[in-house]
Structure 1
Amino acid sequence: MSEDSFRSVEIERSSVGQYVVRNVRGGSLSMGTGGDDSFTPVELLLAALGGCTAVDVDYVTSRRAEPTGFRVEVTGDKIKDETGGNRMRNLRVAFTVTFPEGEGGDKAREALPRSLRQSHDRLCTVSRTVELGTPVTVVDTTAADAD
């Protein structure tokens, strides 16, 4: 794997059920179990799904015209499946994007459906990873850290 392809975040416990997520650029956000205003892991998954396509769509359409409204609603149902495990289903990413009247706005409106399809079909790493069902490996490195 090249340095250009590697991505990571670090999660540090701040108290029971409360964590701080940090990226390599120094950004941080609170994550928790839903007992306060911190984002839950499922909410962050939903945000990643919508945010990934939002970035793609925004870059394509805003070159034509600055949107007058740009809203993404991401929803899904958290269920316990037949194996007894939790998962999400019925994931939906709904865009409501408006542009000003005029030639630029017309071009942006015309580009919107194609940019949504391109993001979903090939550009958005997050939704493509979820849809393809990429395996996740969980490891305990505690003993390695003790040395």
Structure 2
Amino acid sequence: MTESERSVRIERVGAGRYVAHNPDGATLPIGGDGFSPVELLLAAIGSCTAIDTDVATTRRTEPDSFTITVSGDKVSDRESGNRMENLAVTFAVRFPEGEAGDAARAMLPRTVALSHDKLCTVSRTVERGTPVRTIIE
């Protein structure tokens, strides 16, 4: 087993508005006109498997279209707290006609399953229920 730390820094830029920064210098607005934290969670789940799947299938051919929709129900519960339930990742991927497209279509279910079962750190972490600790400096 190998471990490799990952991190982001989140900075408040206004009332209800934040910017996430990664170590490479990329930024992402959160709140206000940006993504909500729940939307970021859904995007992380979907994009993790999307990237794994895209890398594998585009070795055969470029897709005509490649869209992932991630949905779920936000539950507010006084006893057990807020959470997301019924998470679903739906792939709508179209490949061109022909031998290369057929090969990409044939491998799509296998690559999606492999990402979900082994490769996607995000959804695997959510499914395992990894504890989150908070620290105040």
Fold conserved (TM > 0.5)? yes
Deviations 1:64-123 (A, max 9, x none): 110000000000110113625100001000000000011100000000000010000000
Q: Which residue of 1 aligns with 2:100?
A: 104
Give a deviation string over 1:36-62, Cα, whole Å, max 9, x none: 421000000000000000000000100
Q: Give the whole-Å Cα distance in 1 for the aligned partners of 2:98 and 2:33.
A: 41
Structure 2: give runs of 5+ residues left out of the alignment.
Answer: none
2:18 match: 19
**Which residue does 1:122 correspond to in 2?**
118
1:93 partner SS:
strand
Paired-residue identity, %: 57
**TM-score, with normalisation over the residues of structure 1?**
0.89
Q: 3-state SS of the aligned residue for 1:30?
A: strand
**Across the two proteins, how many residue pairs are aligned to each other?**
137
1:134 and 2:130 aligned:
yes
Aligned CA RMSD, in angstroms, stands at 1.5
- How does 1:1-147 map onto structure 2 within 5 Å? 5-32=4-31, 36-81=32-77, 83-141=79-137
Q: What is the SS of the residue equivalent to 2:72?
A: strand
Q: Secondary structure at the match of 1:13?
A: strand
Relative to structure 2, which stretch is displaced further, 62-71 or 82-91? 82-91
Q: 1: CA distance between counterparts of 2:73 and 2:24?
A: 32
Q: Classify the secondary structure of the residue corresponding to 1:83.
A: coil
Unaligned runs of 5+ in 1: 142-147
Structure 1 residue ranges (4+ consecutive) displaced by more than 4 angstroms after TM superposition = none
What is the letter of the counterpart of residue 87 of structure 2? L
Q: TM-score, normalised by structure 2?
A: 0.96
User: What is the CA–CA distance in structure 2 between the aligned matches of 1:84 and 1:44, rounded to whole Å?
Assistant: 22
